[in-house]
Amino acid sequence: MMTGYLLTAEGGRMDLPPFTSWKLRRTGTVPCDSFEGSCLWDAGVEPALEGAYRLILEDGGARRFTGVLDEYELSWGENGGALSVAGRGLAALLLDNEAAGRDYQVATLADILRDHVSPYGLPVGKAGNLPPVPGFSVATGSSEWQVLYSFARYHGGVQPRFDVYGSLIVAAEEPRRVAVDDRTGVTAVSWRDKRYGVWSEVLVQDRGSLSPQRMVNEGFLRQGGRCRRVMTMPGRSAYQAMRYSGQFQLDRSYEERFALELTVPGAYFCEPGDRVAVTLSRPALAGTWTVVETQAVLDGGGSRVKLKLR
């Protein structure tokens, strides 16, 4: 049973009745995690809701979500009162705030956390040993999340994310491995091959004197794909940074090509980043995929979870 409570800026806590319907989305990245749900509500404590700013969710004593309270709605009718709440994961604080432009002679992870994460009161659960980045630039108007993501993912190969407790994880972790087969009870399957948006090559150039670097998706070119992108790096970018940034973008565009969606009964089955070995006889599907999003739902049709895989 999904239950939750609200925290107030003054340090108070308000327990909520069990949710009668809800939807919990976990992505680990952008768009960030989100929740919306409804519960029965009696009149009388509405003023206390005004000071609420955090939404915590639990199921069977296990934490499922920690986020900002974006919206609430009170309604009354013939069947009594109801409260609806909606919120996003704590990554929203980095997405909603823009960074001031800045050039680092050499940027370290400690610098990025100090300047772009800590000012928002976000706890860091785990920080890995990411390499320093010479000549790292922050463009004015970039979101704080873009700054963190660019530093960690493009230069360190690490996907930053927030766990269910709202702690930031900036470290490589071994993915959990799970299996989906005919015994799992899959109720719906869709598979897509989307070629639009896949890049065939990337040309990376800098504002300095380095020669342009060209990365190519040979397989897509052989299929007739033609989609080139030109990236401009900051002046005096290192050769390795140019190659890595270009190849990363090329690979990421290809990751979006194939998508598999599975719907299974129940509420919690996987987390973003998990590796799923799929072996189904009907439809005939086999392969190993990475979970990019889970969407757990409880409504009039019961509980189920949709897995989006790449």
- Dump pLDDT digits (tens) for 13-23: 999 999 999 99
Residue 119, preceding bond cis, omega within 30 degrees?
A: no
Residue 277 has pLDDT above 90, yes or no: yes
| Boundary (domain end) residue, out of 235, 255, 275 | 255
Spatial separation of the C-alpha atoms in residues 108 and 127, rounded to whole Å: 12
Spatial separation of the C-alpha atoms in residues 145 and 124, rounded to whole Å: 14
Spatial separation of the C-alpha atoms in residues 69 and 53, rounded to whole Å: 5
Residue 234 has pLDDT above 80, yes or no: no
pLDDT digits (tens, 9 = 90+) for 124-175: 999 999 999 988 889 899 999 999 998 998 888 899 999 999 999 999 989 9
268, 211: one domain = no
pLDDT digits (tens, 9 = 90+) for 189-231: 999 888 787 888 888 877 665 677 788 888 888 888 888 888 7
Residue 87 structure tokens: 């919120």
9, 80: one domain = yes
Residue 144 structure tokens: 């704080």
Rg (CA), the chain: 22
152, 245: one domain = no
- Cβ–Cβ < 8 Å for 267, 172: no
Residue 270 structure tokens: 């996987």
| Boundary (domain end) residue, out of 213, 234, 255 | 255
What count of residues does the chain have?
Answer: 310
Spatial separation of the C-alpha atoms in residues 274 and 159, rounded to whole Å: 13
101, 166: one domain = yes
Spatial separation of the C-alpha atoms in residues 94 and 86, rounded to whole Å: 18
pLDDT digits (tens, 9 = 90+) for 42-97: 867 677 788 899 999 999 889 999 999 999 999 998 888 999 999 999 999 999 99
Looking at residue 21, its amino acid is S
The residue range of the domain holding 141 is 94-170
Quote the pTM value. Answer: 0.83
186, 304: one domain = yes
181, 300: one domain = yes
Spatial separation of the C-alpha atoms in residues 14 and 22, rounded to whole Å: 19
